Structure formats: C-alpha cells, structure tokens
Amino acid sequence: MYSKDNIIIERTASGIPLIKVDNERDMYFGFGYCHATDRGMQMMMMKILGTGTASQHLNGDNEMLEIDKFFRRMNWHNNLKDEIQKLNKHEDDLAQAYCDGANAAFAENKPWELKLLLGFKDFRWGKTDIALLARMAGYLTLAQSQGEIERLFVQMVQQGVNKKLLNELFPDILGNYDEDLLKKIKLTEKIIPDAVKWNVASSAFMASNNWVISGNKTKSGAALLANDPHLEINRLPSVWYEITIQMGERFAYSATMPGLSTLLISRTNDLSWGATYTFMDATDSWIEQCKDGKYLKDDKWHEFDERKELINVKKGKAIEITYYENEHGVLDGNPYEEGYYLTTKWSGEKSGAISIKAGFQMWNTDNVKDGMETIGKLEASFSWVLADTKGNIGLQMSGLMPKRKEGVSGFAPVPGWLSENDWQGYHAPEDLPRAYNPEEGYIITTNNNLNHLGNVAPINMPMGEYRADRIKHLLDLNEKTGIEDIKKMHFDTYSLEAELFMEIIKPLLPDSTNGELLKNWDLCYNTDSKGAYLFEMIYRRLYHEVFGSALGMELVDFLQNQSGVIIDFYANFNNILLSDDSAWFSGRKREEIYKKAINSALADDAKEWGDINNIILTNMLLGNKLPKFMGFDKGPFPLPGGRATIHQGQVYTSAGRSTSFAPSFRMITDMGENIVHTNLAGGVSDRRFSNLYNNDFTNWKKRIYKKLEF
C-alpha cells in the first residue's frame, strides 16, 4: 500500500491498484505512480523505441538499427514540445502530476533488467513522453496496416498484375490509376522483400469487438457494454494495465496503457466506453518527380527539407541518416538520383495535445451525447461505443480523416506535382460514422465497414463482417441479454466465414476419414477441433491455387506466414475465393480449383487446431533469451478461435517474430450496477519475480471474470 499526502493506493484481491484521492491532480499522480511501479520497464522500452534509440540502449545489431530507422523516419520525437504547449494550465498541471507520480516510482525502484543488463540510467518520464506514446498507440499495427496494404498494391502493379484483377481485389477504391506511372516509382521500402520471388502469370493476376445494448433489450433493463480488443497477446507484460480510482463519491475503472495519462476502455459512475480500431484510411502516398535533390510542384522545382538524424549504436559507430521531407511527408528514396519516388504521410504525425485534452475530459463526462462529442476529438482513429446510466447508447468514430480531392479515396498514390491532390484539412468528428440510440437497440463494431453511418466514408479496407454478423445473430436469438450471455459470446468460436466456404466444400468431400471429419465439423474453432484444422489446410491450399498461380507460391506463403496483410484484409481475398467465377481463376471452374485444394489438404493426417494454433508468452525484453525454467516465458498455450470468429485467434510471424491476434482483454459492464467484469491476457506487473507477473492469464483461458465492485 502507498499512502502519502492524501493519496492512498491499495490493491484488490487480484492485484489491481485502487487509487483513493480527494482531487484530480492527486488522481493523476497516483495514476503515474502505479504505471511506473508495475510497468516501468514497459514504459521505458516504449520510450526507447519511440525515440529511435534502441541501437544505443538495447543492442547494435542490424535488426535494431532498422527499427530505429523506422521510428526516426516517422519523426514523432522532434516536435513534441509544440504539442504540450497547446495544453491549458489545468491540463498541463494534470499531465505534470502524472509524470510526477511516475518519477516518484522510478526514484524508489528502477527496473533491474534495464539498469543492470543494459546500463540504462535515464529513468524519467515527461509530458512529451505522454504525447509520444499517444502517437505510437494510434499508429503501430493499426494505421500502419493501411500504409502496408497500399504499398503492396503498388508492388502488385509493378510486378505486372493487371487492372482487371486488382479492381476485383480492391473494388471501388482504385480510381483510374496511371499504371505506367506507378511502374516508374522506385521503391526502397517494400512490403514484399526482393528475396521473395514473384511469378505473375501473363493473363492473370490486425481487430476487436465492442457492442452496446440498450436497456429494452437487456435482462436488467439497463444499458450494457462489452469490449474485447484484439491485439498481440503472446508477450509479457500485457498491452493493457487495469486500474481503479475512487475520488469522493466518484469512481472509475479503466484498462489503460502504461505511459498514457488517459482513461481508455473505461467505466465511471455514469458512463462506460469501449474501443475498436476503425481501419480509417489516414495514411496516403504521393508520387514525387525528383532530380538534383528537388521535387516538382505546380511546374516549379522545390527544395526538400533535409532532416539529419544521428543514430548512436551500442559498441559501434554512430550512423547519420538524411530524411527528405515536404508537405506530403517523408520521401522513400534519394532525390539526388533522378526518378519517381513516394512520399507518405499519416494524419496523426503531429498529434497528441487534443487527445490528451479529451482524455482528461472523459473523467467528468456523464452521458453518452457529451461523451461522443468529447471522445470524437481523439486524433487516433477508433470506433467508440458508449452507454450511460440513463439507458442511452451511442457510437462515435474518432480520428483525423483527411479531406481529399473528390473521387480520390486515398488508397492509390496520386501525383504530388498537382496541388489539387493535396489534403485540404480534416473532416469534423460529427461527419464521421456515429449513431445514437438506434432503433434496433444495439450497436456493434468489429473493424467492419461503418461508412453507412457517416456523412463521409473513412474506411477503404475494412475487415470482414463475419464477427459483426455473428454477434448480431446471437443478440437477436435472445429477447433479453445479460452478463452471462455476453461471457458466452466473448468465447464463441463459431465461424460464419467457414459456413460460407463449407457450402461449397461439403459436396466435394471424399468418402474418407478426413472427409467424414470435415463433413461433421460443427464450424467451431475449439482447440481440440480436427475439423478446424482440416478446413484451414483447405483454405491455405485455395490461396495457393488462386493467388499462387497468379502471383507465385513463394509470395503467397510470405503473405500468409510472414505478414499481417491477409490477417487484416482477408475479406477482400475471400470475395475472390467465394465468387462463382473470377478473373483470378485463370479460366478454370471454381469446382475444379476447390477439388484440387481439398484433395491436397486431406491427404495428410488431421491434427487438432491447438497443435498448430498456439502461443508462448514471451518477456518483451528477455523473451527467448533465457532458459524456460527461469519463468520469463510461459507456455505453449493452445489458442481457440480463428480469423473470423468472435473469439479471434490468429498466430503468424511478422518481421521474423512470432505474434498473435486475439482478445487481449475483456470487459463487460451493466450500467444498472456499479460492477465491472474483466479478464486480462497477462498480469498486473512486468516484474518477472512478482506474483502479479501473469496472474490473470489463467482466468483468461478458463473463462473466469474478475468482479470489480464499487
């Protein structure tokens, strides 16, 4: 327990801190103190990465150098003070209180791994670090995926994939792109490495759930909110840190991110809110014509801004890198070598202050309408659902959506030398998808397409509708829904995607052991399911047959096993695979393609789904570096679910590192009672020798929820 200057910090039975204070400044001091006490290593690691100093502080190998180059390229660390100056005196005081609390904890105890093993000494947290993490949380693996699929599109064009195929794969968003111009672009940053060979035939070619239910459809008669954000779960500590607050008669529960002074997924006396990622297209690229270090704009040649970054390398020589920038972002290439290059920009590259302000305001917001207005100002793009004690429910998308030239979606790069292609500011939050007390009595978001709910269309590449449709189906089955019903839904592994594919596959199955297994499959991705395993083997073979024959097997293997492209955007590929006929079929009948995939997939013995879909929880700093008996890593654990199930469960490799996509945390709250039900894929602390290191993971596996009552 911590007690000082009217700040009391206790712990619940599950180790979650309870901060008891009399005022907001003390609340945020306690907030920062708890974060740095339990997750100090995590905070410092994120700061090291975000400032591009991993080569200096962690190790100087080539992999770490590439990570530093990425973060230096993003340039989040150079203009943070400008953001903090936008805070008013009260907001600045609260942000400083958070930092004071964090630094008080660091003064008491510094993470020994960083101090002893790496010689790290700079254990300080400042207001600029809060803004830095706000940018990182809004971009990494989220907005980043949009930029990656757009870069993949350019590579596809350059490898000769024709317009007919690409328009079928990316319908209604390509516009009338200039194929010859895209082929002239010199790419140095590629999604598909040069080592992966393409084989284009001449004639052919990451997620979360949240939902709110109004009182007229719940067993209690009060509004109900559920959220389970899908992120990487195979690391320790967890992405999320749970915290509870008591200030007089006012309380809050929040799943927070260490280093951020913001109540993220939360419940207070009056209001609850939960988030999913939107897949808003907030990242664009422009084609620049360059020579002699300049770029063409409106028939004139202009100088790039040259930014030099010095990367210090542990036990090595410092490396200086020059980045070339203009109004369209950072150039991918050297403008002194004549040619066409891409500049790329993310709308949140100079964000921070407005998000910090909105985060502070949510503590005192007591109804859905005001909550929508406040949370819609956040600069990172999320779909927020809200519920209040008056029975109201709402949806509000946040994020800086660029205003583009009419007819330009932002997916395909456009000529940078035409000013008409520049961004013209950002759309107002009230124009983004939103809803308030809809007639159906519930709101569901699952990274799916929500464009129909807005005055503008921010989403180009959503995830599939399968999870949303499944949640809707289960809600419609019950006249009234309660907490226990939501718990079952959180762990539901039935796949509507598989249901569609099996309508095609089932009549083609052979009379064999594996054929019978698949015929009798219940379409659930349980860890002991052999049907799920066999279906996935067929699904993979279909990719080889359809996309591999057009693009090359090695490329498809890379997309499936070494990138998040299919993990995020599988629905676009499914639309091809489920078509009666497609240009991607290269003149073959669909039945012929499916039979070949089935025969190949069912030739091997069936395994259980959990045999190949499993995770090892690895320490974020020392993972895979120490003997298992030392306890820094835990597992393996079989992971239920698939890409299209409510309980999503995907395992893949990204940049050579095993990663996952699954419910990182679950929360349910009924606004008729002051109770929150949660479980976490991890634990409270990042300290290996703490009994809170991964104390909630067993509950997460066993479908057991903590009950936090105020």
Average pLDDT value for residue range 160-188: 93
According to DSSP H, which parts of 22-112 are helical? Answer: 24-50, 54-57, 62-74, 80-84, 89-108, 112
What are the angstrom distances between the C-alpha of 710 and each of 227, 388, 410, 581, 696? 20, 16, 46, 58, 20
Distance CA 459, CA 450 (A): 7
Residue 389 has pLDDT above 80, yes or no: yes
CB 147 within 8 Å of CB 346: yes
List the chain domain ranges: 2-138, 496-606
The DSSP code sequence of 134-203 is HHHHHIIIIIHHHHHHHHHHHHHHHTT--HHHHHHHSTTTS-S--HHHHHHB--SS-SS-TTSPP---TT
Distance CA 612, CA 50 (A): 33
Residue 655 has pLDDT above 70, yes or no: no
Residue 341 has pLDDT above 80, yes or no: yes
Residue 149 has pLDDT above 80, yes or no: yes
Using alpha carbons, select from 681, 665, 700, 684 the residue that is nearest to residue 226: 665
Q: How many CA atoms lie within 13 A of 612 on its CB side?
A: 16
Average pLDDT value for residue range 102-115: 93
Reported confidence tier of residue 146, pLDDT bands at 50, 70, 90: confident
Q: What is the pLDDT of residues 433-443, one digit of tens each?
A: 999 999 999 99
User: Per the structure block, which two tokens stand in for 10?
Assistant: 């206790």
Q: What is the pLDDT of residues 1-15, one digit of tens each?
A: 688 889 999 999 999
Question: What's the CA angle centered on 182, arms 177 and 187, to 5 degrees?
Answer: 145
Task: Tell me the one-letter amino acid at 666.
Answer: R
Distance CA 384, CA 445 (A): 9
Q: What is the pLDDT of residues 264-290, one digit of tens each?
A: 999 999 999 999 999 999 999 999 999
Task: Tell me the one-letter amino acid at 633.
Answer: D
Average pLDDT value for residue range 166-194: 87
Pairing of strands 17-21, 241-247: parallel
- The pLDDT value given to residue 142: 63
- Residue 638 has what DSSP assignment? E
Q: Which of these CATH numbers, 1.10.439.10, 3.30.428.10, 3.40.718.10, 2.40.128.20, describes 2-138?
A: 1.10.439.10
Q: What is the pLDDT of residues 304-315, one digit of tens each?
A: 999 999 999 998
Using alpha carbons, select from 323, 293, 300, 298 the residue that is nearest to residue 311: 323
Reported confidence tier of residue 654, pLDDT bands at 50, 70, 90: low
% of the chain residues with pLDDT over 70 = 97
Distance CA 191, CA 106 (A): 39
Residue 91 has pLDDT above 60, yes or no: yes
Reported confidence tier of residue 141, pLDDT bands at 50, 70, 90: low
SS3 (DSSP) at 27: helix
Confidence (pTM): 0.94
Query: Could you tell me which residues come within 8 angstroms of residue 305 by beta carbon, excluding any fewer than 6 positions away?
Result: 324, 325, 326
Distance CA 474, CA 213 (A): 12
User: Per the structure block, which two tokens stand in for 177?
Assistant: 């792109």
The rounded mean pLDDT for the chain is 93
Distance of alpha carbon 341 from its chain centroid, rounded? 28
Distance CA 411, CA 396 (A): 23
Altogether, the residues listed in the chain come to a count of 710
Q: How many CA atoms lie within 13 A of 251 on its CB side?
A: 15
Distance CA 641, CA 662 (A): 8
User: Per the structure block, which two tokens stand in for 225?
Assistant: 């909110």
Spell 158-181 as b/e; 16+ CB within 10 A means b.
Answer: beebbeebbebbbeebbeebeeee
Which residue has tokens 């590579």?
155
What are the angstrom distances between the C-alpha of 229 and each of 278, 545, 662? 12, 33, 8
Higher pLDDT pick, 198 / 638? 638
% of the chain residues with pLDDT over 90 = 83
What fold characterizes domain 496-606? 1.10.1400
Residue 656 has pLDDT above 80, yes or no: no
- The pLDDT value given to residue 498: 98
Average pLDDT value for residue range 138-157: 82
Question: What's the CA angle centered on 193, arms 191 and 196, to 5 degrees?
Answer: 120
Task: Tell me the one-letter amino acid at 34.
Answer: C
- The pLDDT value given to residue 393: 98
Reported confidence tier of residue 563, pLDDT bands at 50, 70, 90: confident
Using alpha carbons, select from 150, 180, 146 the residue that is nearest to residue 162: 180
User: Per the structure block, which two tokens stand in for 193?
Assistant: 């490495």
Reported confidence tier of residue 24, pLDDT bands at 50, 70, 90: very high
CB 75 within 8 Å of CB 330: yes
Average pLDDT value for residue range 522-542: 98
Residue 688 has pLDDT above 70, yes or no: yes
Reported confidence tier of residue 204, pLDDT bands at 50, 70, 90: very low
Q: How many CA atoms lie within 13 A of 379 on its CB side?
A: 22
Which residue has tokens 């009379």?
511
Higher pLDDT pick, 700 / 623? 700
CB 679 within 8 Å of CB 705: yes
- The pLDDT value given to residue 198: 43
- The pLDDT value given to residue 561: 78
CB 671 within 8 Å of CB 223: yes
- The pLDDT value given to residue 118: 80
- The pLDDT value given to residue 385: 98
User: Per the structure block, which two tokens stand in for 191?
Assistant: 């999604």
- Residue 15 has what DSSP assignment? S
Distance CA 526, CA 535 (A): 13
Spell 306-331 as b/e; 16+ CB within 10 A means b.
Answer: eeebebebbeeeeeeeebbbbebbbb
CB 382 within 8 Å of CB 376: no
Q: What is the pLDDT of residues 285-299, one digit of tens each?
A: 999 999 999 999 999
Compute how many other C-beta atoms are within 10 angstroms of the C-beta atom of residue 625. Answer: 12
Distance of alpha carbon 306 from its chain centroid, rounded? 31
Orientation angle between helical segments 127-138 and 24-50, nearest 10 degrees: 60
